[in-house]
């Protein structure tokens, strides 16, 4: 009896000691800053990092700003452009990589490559490829399409690069989901005369749906807060800036270029709410198509 109480007291002390660095770090680096950001979104930033409470002014200014609504739309539009096509292509690549082929490790390595290249370098080469006057794509097309300066196209160009960058990462995740599917299901199906396409729709797709759901959520969240790629592809002097500027790009410019930290905080709070709403919608919708049985 005495021994167990010593044992559990020992555990309590060691438990607190062992979580202390992480918990203190999270409180200082994340929880307190989170509260500060909420407060700052109701304040005006003054000199020397001080803030003065100004109620809903930032939010009122934000909701009246066309630039803000445009950035919100750009972020949502970027999701619409990248997520369905990107996840579909990743699933296709994963299925192809799952076939028993020579060289599949090499193929997998190639598709995954953009993941280990900094987005800054990725953006640089694509800017060159999409260059209006001298880019290789326009040379092949024989047309001077203004890929990065035409407001109607610029976000599509960024979306193409984003899909290209993420395809290998998503495919690796989906592939590990596909590899967990029991081979006996496919054997039974081929004995029954099911074609590969039928097997895909009746076995692979339902069985991989939980992984697909995770990839989808992750991709949605990261697309809604896209920043680095667009920042590198569309610099701040680009005439098409407002047509490409995402919420996080606007946040960066307001907080660290213009110095409106209060207003920028309101933008980031709005973005978090937007991500939250989209994620909730996804979780509500998942019951219709995600298969958690087996």
Q: Which of residues 133-152 bind other proteins (CB under 8 A)?
A: 133-134, 136, 139
| 252 belongs to the binding site for other proteins (CB under 8 A) | yes
| 284 belongs to the binding site for other proteins (CB under 8 A) | no
In 3D space, the residue among 87, 230, 79 whose CA is nearest the CA of residue 166 turns out to be 87
Binding mask 219-248 for other proteins (x = CB under 8 A): --x---x-xx--xx--x------------x
| 187 belongs to the binding site for other proteins (CB under 8 A) | no
- Minimum distance between the CB of residue 201 and other proteins, rounded to whole angstroms? 16
Q: Which residue matches tokens 């445009």?
A: 70
Token pair in block for residue 290:
């995600």
| 211 belongs to the binding site for other proteins (CB under 8 A) | yes
- Minimum distance between the CB of residue 161 and other proteins, rounded to whole angstroms? 9
Q: Which residue matches tokens 């596909």?
A: 178
CA dihedral 98, 100, 106, 109 (to 10 degrees): 10
- Minimum distance between the CB of residue 185 and other proteins, rounded to whole angstroms? 18
- Minimum distance between the CB of residue 113 and other proteins, rounded to whole angstroms? 6
Structure letter (DSSP) for residue 235: -
- Minimum distance between the CB of residue 247 and other proteins, rounded to whole angstroms? 9
CA 267 to CA 62: how far, in whole Å?
8
* DSSP characters over 172-207: HHHHHHHHTS-HHHHHHHHHTT--HHHHIIIIIHHH
| 128 belongs to the binding site for other proteins (CB under 8 A) | yes
| 31 belongs to the binding site for other proteins (CB under 8 A) | yes
- Minimum distance between the CB of residue 59 and other proteins, rounded to whole angstroms? 16
Q: Is the dihedral of CA 46, 48, 49, 53 positive or negative?
A: negative
**Can you tell me which of 148, 215, 244, 266 binds other proteins, judged by CB under 8 A?**
215
Q: Which residues contact 149 (CB under 8 A, 6 or more apart)?
A: 132, 238, 239, 240
| 111 belongs to the binding site for other proteins (CB under 8 A) | yes
How many residues of this chain interact with other proteins, rule: CB under 8 A? 95
């Amino acid at each position: 009896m005495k021994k167990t109480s010593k044992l559990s007291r020992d555990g309590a002390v060691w438990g607190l000691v062992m979580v202390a660095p992480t918990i203190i770090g999270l409180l200082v680096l994340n929880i307190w800053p989170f509260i500060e950001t909420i407060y700052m979104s109701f304040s005006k930033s003054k000199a020397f990092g001080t803030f003065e409470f100004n109620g809903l002014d930032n939010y009122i200014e934000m909701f009246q700003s066309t630039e803000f609504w445009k950035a919100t739309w750009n972020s949502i539009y970027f999701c619409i452009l990248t997520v369905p096509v990107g996840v579909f292509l990743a699933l296709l690549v994963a299925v192809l990589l799952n076939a028993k082929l020579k060289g599949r490790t090499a193929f997998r390595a190639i598709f995954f490559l953009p993941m280990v290249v900094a987005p800054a370098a990725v953006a640089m080469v694509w800017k060159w490829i999409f260059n209006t006057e001298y880019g290789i794509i326009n040379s092949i097309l024989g047309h001077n399409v203004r890929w990065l300066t035409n407001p109607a196209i610029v976000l599509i160009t960024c979306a193409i690069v984003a899909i290209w960058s993420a395809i290998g990462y998503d495919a690796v995740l989906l592939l590990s989901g596909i590899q967990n599917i029991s081979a006996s299901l496919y054997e039974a199906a081929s004995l029954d005369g099911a074609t590969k396409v039928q097997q895909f729709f009746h076995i692979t797709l339902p069985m991989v749906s939980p992984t697909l759901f995770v990839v989808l959520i992750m991709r949605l969240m990261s697309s809604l807060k896209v920043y680095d790629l667009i920042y590198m592809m569309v610099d701040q002097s680009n005439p098409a800036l407002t047509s490409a500027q995402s919420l996080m790009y606007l946040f960066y410019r307001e907080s660290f270029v213009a110095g409106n930290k209060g207003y920028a905080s309101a933008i980031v709070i709005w973005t978090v709410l937007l991500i939250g709403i989209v994620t909730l919608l996804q979780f509500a919708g998942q019951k219709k198509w995600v298969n958690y049985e087996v």
